[in-house]
Structure 1
Amino acid sequence: MASSVTGARTIARNALAVSAAQVLGKLASLGFYVVMARVLGEQGFGAYTFALSLAQLTTVFAGFGIDEWMARTIARDPKTAPRLMTDALVAKSAFGVAGCVAAVVFAVVAGYSGEVQLTVAFLALGALVELYMNIFNATFQGLDDLRWPAAATMLERASIGIIGIVALLAGAGIVVVAAIYLACALAATALVMVRLAAIGVRPAPSPSAARALGLVKMTFTIGLTVLLNTALFRVDTVLLSLIKDDAAVGFYGAAYRLLESPLFVAYGMTAALLPALSRASRTSAPPLRDLVETGLKLILCALAPIGTAFAVLAEPIVDVVYGPDYADAVAAVRLLGGAAALYGVGYFGAFVLIAQGRQRILPQITAGVLVLNVVLNLVLIPAWSFRGAALVTSLSELLLAIAFMGYAMRVAGRLSARRVLSGPLAGCVAIALVALALGPTVPALVVAPIAYVVVLLAVERWLYPQDLRTLVAMVRRG
């Protein structure tokens, strides 16, 4: 019983630390992108959005799923941390530099301006630095302590947001903003590296190319999945930029930033549960099925209402956040509602499989959905522009959610749909009724979340009071 209480306390502490940092960081990031969209207009905002998507797309393969493997391995055997850190640094350096070069070469060959090329270079280097930071974050995660990774995340995003806003208001362009991104990534990485060293965990002093290559081979399946998933998340922006123009990318980027902002819930909850998921089984205490149901339910409670709000209240959301100049983005926000609600389901399902060592199926599913995504984008973007890209994104996330959770249930056992879905679905119906009664207005934006929380708590208290008591107890312990 004592170990169960300690485990719940640890999960709660980690989930709250990550969520709090992500909330503050996302608020700063959203404010930064809103100011950028308003100051630079859809053309400048579109150019920066393209550069960031390209930088992340060409460098993500250098991660190879190493971070997820490290967290799982260290959770089982903390003594492996120093060697894994060294091997990961060698592997990411070798392939990450190649990714940075590839990003700049693509921008040059595709004929983008010198300003965009320099922006791509700074953002690609920033993405590489974040790959290094993730090594130290994964080590902390394996040690069941996400407080310093959370602090580093908050430092990076808040710094980018605050300094970036000041720079934009002072007249800076996308190159300066990209340089700020790089500098803040370096500062956050230094923080988490120093704090890890303070508890006596440092990279082993003997790097080995052979060991690093062996690590890449071991994590290849996870890495390929991460690469394909990032391509799935970013390729639409690149295709939109090539087929249409910066204005279309700007409108889509504005909608996409709204989609990305709440996804920290999936990241935070999954990160907090990953060590426990790695140690759990069908016969453990608590059993794997309970952990999966709890994680999935919490993710849906947070993301399902956001997806519903995107679908029925897109107009006031865009108007409040970006202003009337971005009214064209309303349709994209509405169409991205499905992705907002379902992304966390697929993400969590994938990590259940990774935690249980059943990740072989992941790249096959993701590759299939990616191919479909590219084909549909090539068909729909010429006719529907960014609206077509938004529709394809939601369809892709629906397919991933169905497939990943289907395989996760094969591992964990059949889940209780009633327990997982009753509260979130009832709350989403309340949001839809508020939108129907008040229309797409700002007052509806205020009333809808209140109605959601009231209905959610009422349904949970009626059907699953123990879940509510457990959640309250975890929050208090956390």
Structure 2
Amino acid sequence: MRIPAIPGFDPEAFQKYFKNTGWLMFGKVLSLIVGIFIAKFLGPHDFGDLSVATAFAAIIAAVGTLGLDSFVIREVLDEPAKRDEILGTAFWMRLAVSLVLVPASVLIYIFSRSIAEQQGTDLTLIITFCASALLFKSFNIIDSYFQSQVRSKFVVQVQNVCLILSSIIKITFVLLKLPLVYFAFALVIDGLMLAIGLVIIYHRDKLHIRNWTFKTHRAKSLLSKSWPLILSAVMVTLYMQIDILMLKHFAGSTEAGIYSSAARISESWYFIPVAIVTSVFPAIIHARKTDPPRYQKRLQNLYDLLIIISVPVALVVSVGADTFIHLVYGDQFQGAGIMLSIHIWSGIFVFLGSASGQYLLAEGYTMISFYRTAVGAIINILLNLWLIPLYGGLGASIATLIAYFSATFFILVFARTRHQGLKMLKSLFLISLIQKIPRR
């Protein structure tokens, strides 16, 4: 893969990152293909119910992580001799919270479902299975340990082995024409397989989870540091998932399924900005310390690069959305094309948001980062309340686009970050790119 020469962009770093994360990208592509296969089999209604259940479980899971992952990495690096205490305390905290959240999430669904839902498809068992997968996510603490040792490749290998096995199981369920509940149960199997795989590689490192210990003082210390991240995680998940839940409530399962089919394709390339930003940001941070003007120039170049990639893709997909949906899903998901043609433009602001998010972290503006996520979530909910009853999934697509735009450019509100918002606007309207064209 040859990358064009772009000012401020390091092709070698980019290619190295892609080489190191090739399996990760393979996993994302495989997940998309299997997801499309399942959607075509289930049809809009059942796929909508499955999407609602997984969205509901994702919001619960955002609380269950307790925001501990990044702090566990830092704690293990700071106190390697206390590894078993740190990992053990974090594990038991997450497991205890998950044991409370699983039944709580089922009860929340039972008491919040509408009369129509009570008379129609009962999602209680589906929700139970999707939420139960949260129990196994407690073992993701092992992933944090390997990240602290800069050995994440072992975790990625386990994840992809599990993904391949999971894909085989789900495709088998499709071939056997099993009902929806089996695909929800498959999520429990996914969690169990990954937990077993993580334990295996941890023991292969001549370490044992039986040595993990729980310390109250450590638990208090971790919680005191991580609670803002819990709020941020919940806001991010609400931001990403609330539209599906609201579609189910206002427009029904079929509309939620049609929208989910479009959103799945639209969001399938969101790993690209993460890859780019991860590859180039170390050089940008270095410039911040040594050459501030160059730092600002490299940030502008990064925004330009993300626009160069995202706008043409959004334009092509938007124009050919109906044809694309027909080729991928057939005739079952009528109406998904117009949703995709609007939703795909949200990717532009996801790209810019990935870069500006790293800028906020580098500058220590963590609360501004939280505020803009919260603003995006609130705008998304309010617009969904207005637009979904009127336009269904199309309204949800419009709400998502406006919310992503608002959150991305929320930094214009603050004097400290306004210049970055202006840089992104210059890239969005191609002003900075035009200024780079050589004049004769």
2: CA distance, partners of 1:255 / 1:307? 13
Which stretch of the first structure deviates more once superposed, 414-423 or 82-91? 414-423
Per-residue CA distance 1:95-146 (angstroms, 9 max, x = gap): 223222222113322255676212211211224423532x333333333333
Any conservation in 2 of the 1:314–1:334 contact (CA below 8 Å)? yes
2: CA distance, partners of 1:409 / 1:163? 51
Residues 1:163 and 2:169 aligned together: yes
Residues 1:16 and 2:24 aligned together: no
2: CA distance, partners of 1:217 / 1:278? 31
Residues 1:65 and 2:67 aligned together: yes
The alignment's TM-score, normalised by the length of structure 1, stands at 0.75
Out of 41, 44, 58, which is 1:42 matched to?
A: 44
| Matching residue of 1:105 | 107
Any conservation in 1 of the 2:89–2:213 contact (CA below 8 Å)? no
Return the letter of the residue paired with 1:381. I
Q: CA shift at 1:368, angstroms?
A: 2.3
| Matching residue of 1:313 | 320
Across the aligned residues of Structure 1 and Structure 2, the Cα RMSD in angstroms comes to 4.0
| Matching residue of 1:173 | 179
CA gap of 1:153–1:124, structure 2 versus 1, over 3 A, is same
Any conservation in 2 of the 1:14–1:145 contact (CA below 8 Å)? no
Helix, strand or coil at the partner of 2:69 = helix
Out of 111, 117, 133, which is 2:124 matched to?
A: 117
CA gap of 1:128–1:326, structure 2 versus 1, over 3 A, is same
| Matching residue of 2:394 | 387
2: CA distance, partners of 1:199 / 1:293? 43
Residues 1:324 and 2:331 aligned together: yes
| Matching residue of 1:440 | none
Residues 1:372 and 2:379 aligned together: yes
1: CA distance, partners of 2:195 / 2:130? 15
Alignment of 1:423-438 (within 5 A): none
Q: CA shift at 1:55, angstroms?
A: 0.7
Count of aligned positions: 422
Per-residue CA distance 1:381-405 (angstroms, 9 max, x = gap): 1000111111111111112222369
Per-residue CA distance 1:69-116 (angstroms, 9 max, x = gap): 344566677667554433321332232232222221133222556762
2: CA distance, partners of 1:142 / 1:298? 30
The alignment's TM-score, normalised by the length of structure 2, stands at 0.81
| Matching residue of 2:239 | 232
| Matching residue of 1:447 | none
Q: CA shift at 1:267, angstroms?
A: 4.2
| Matching residue of 2:6 | none
| Matching residue of 2:146 | 140
Out of 39, 48, 52, which is 2:54 matched to?
A: 52
Q: Identical aligned pairs, as a percentage?
A: 18
Return the letter of the residue paired with 1:220. W
CA gap of 1:271–1:158, structure 2 versus 1, over 3 A, is farther
Any conservation in 1 of the 2:110–2:124 contact (CA below 8 Å)? yes
CA gap of 1:181–1:17, structure 2 versus 1, over 3 A, is farther
| Matching residue of 1:262 | 269
Return the letter of the residue paired with 1:247. T
1: CA distance, partners of 2:414 / 2:284? 16
Per-residue CA distance 1:423-478 (angstroms, 9 max, x = gap): 9x99xxxxxxxxxxxxxxxxxxxxxxxxxxxxxxxxx9x98xxxxxxxxxxxxxxx
Q: CA shift at 1:15, angstroms?
A: 4.7
2: CA distance, partners of 1:277 / 1:97? 43
Any conservation in 2 of the 1:129–1:186 contact (CA below 8 Å)? yes
Any conservation in 2 of the 1:32–1:162 contact (CA below 8 Å)? no
Q: CA shift at 1:254, angstroms?
A: 0.4
2: CA distance, partners of 1:150 / 1:50? 27
Alignment of 1:123-134 (within 5 A): 123-130=130-137, 132-133=139-140
